[in-house]
């Protein structure tokens, strides 16, 4: 029998038919300055800007980023690409409320300081040491380097708003946990 789910008393043994076609599309965080965040995510993490949606009458813009390969059939037409963006998975949505970038005292809450809730996003990379050098080349702020702390091989860095980003090399984590 092929793998379906790990067993847990609370987990439905099968996905209900009513959830067929459900897809985890995106994760949204608010950012103070989209120019800073877009530079960071497109350069340091290689994400592409799939779509920008502006709502000037409500003073905010939304930026949708993801990793796409050059041979992926993303529509050139903007309306079609909006629909396409919402049908992808692994999308990061950045919300910019106009004006925050001009307030030197403005900062968002990272979810790891109190009050806690949200923790982090995580990127898988092919080579953790090469990734660490790349982060150093880009003056990224480290919370934990690969060789520090209890979880060897796992990196934590901060994004420009202070949100935590975990970075892992998938193959190296096979023995993680009990």
Residues in 102-131 that interact with a copy of itself by CB under 8 A: 108-111, 115-126, 130-131
Asked if 136 touches a copy of itself (CB under 8 A), the answer is no
Nearest-approach distance from CB 154 to a copy of itself, in angstroms: 10
Long-range contacts of 111-120 (CB under 8 A, 24+ apart): 111/163, 111/164, 112/164, 118/29, 119/164, 120/156, 120/163, 120/164, 120/165, 120/166
> Catalytic: 166?
yes
Give dist(CA 65, CA 49) in Å, integer: 5
Q: Which of 57, 78, 132, 166 is catalytic?
A: 166
Asked if 156 touches a copy of itself (CB under 8 A), the answer is no
93 assigned to a ligand binding site: yes
Write the binding mask 14 to 53 for a copy of itself: x where contact by CB under 8 A, - elsewhere.
-xx-xxxxxxxxxxxxx---xxx-xx--xxxxxxxxxxxx
Asked if 147 touches a copy of itself (CB under 8 A), the answer is no
Q: What would the two tokens of residue 165 be?
A: 């980003």
Closer CB to a copy of itself, 146 or 168, in the complex: 168
Nearest-approach distance from CB 104 to a copy of itself, in angstroms: 17
Under a CB-based contact definition with an 8 Å cutoff, are residues 40 and 159 in contact? Answer: yes
120 assigned to a ligand binding site: yes
Under a CB-based contact definition with an 8 Å cutoff, are residues 59 and 98 in contact? Answer: yes
B/e letters for 73-88, b = 16+ CB within 10 Å, e = fewer, are ebeeeeeeebebbeeb
Asked if 158 touches a copy of itself (CB under 8 A), the answer is no
Q: Is 165 helix (H, G, I), strand (E, B) or coil?
A: strand
Q: Which residues are annotated as a binding site for Zn(2+)?
A: 93, 120, 166
- Residues carrying an active site annotation: 166
């Amino acid at each position: 029998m092929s793998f379906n789910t790990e067993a847990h008393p609370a987990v439905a043994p099968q996905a209900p038919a009513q959830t067929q076609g459900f897809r985890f599309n995106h994760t949204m965080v608010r950012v103070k300055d989209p120019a800073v965040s877009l530079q960071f995510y497109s350069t340091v993490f290689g994400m592409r800007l799939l779509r920008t949606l502006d709502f000037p009458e409500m003073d905010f813009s939304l930026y949708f980023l993801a990793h796409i390969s050059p041979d992926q059939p993303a529509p050139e037409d903007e309306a079609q690409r909006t629909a396409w963006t919402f049908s992808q998975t692994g999308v990061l949505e950045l919300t910019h409320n106009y004006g925050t970038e001009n307030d030197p005292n403005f900062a968002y809450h990272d979810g790891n300081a109190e009050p806690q809730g949200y923790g982090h996003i995580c990127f898988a990379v092919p080579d953790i040491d090469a990734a660490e050098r790349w982060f150093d080349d880009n003056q990224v702020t480290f919370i934990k380097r690969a060789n520090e702390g209890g979880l060897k091989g796992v990196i934590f860095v901060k994004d420009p708003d202070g949100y935590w980003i975990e970075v892992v090399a998938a193959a190296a984590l096979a023995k993680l946990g009990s």
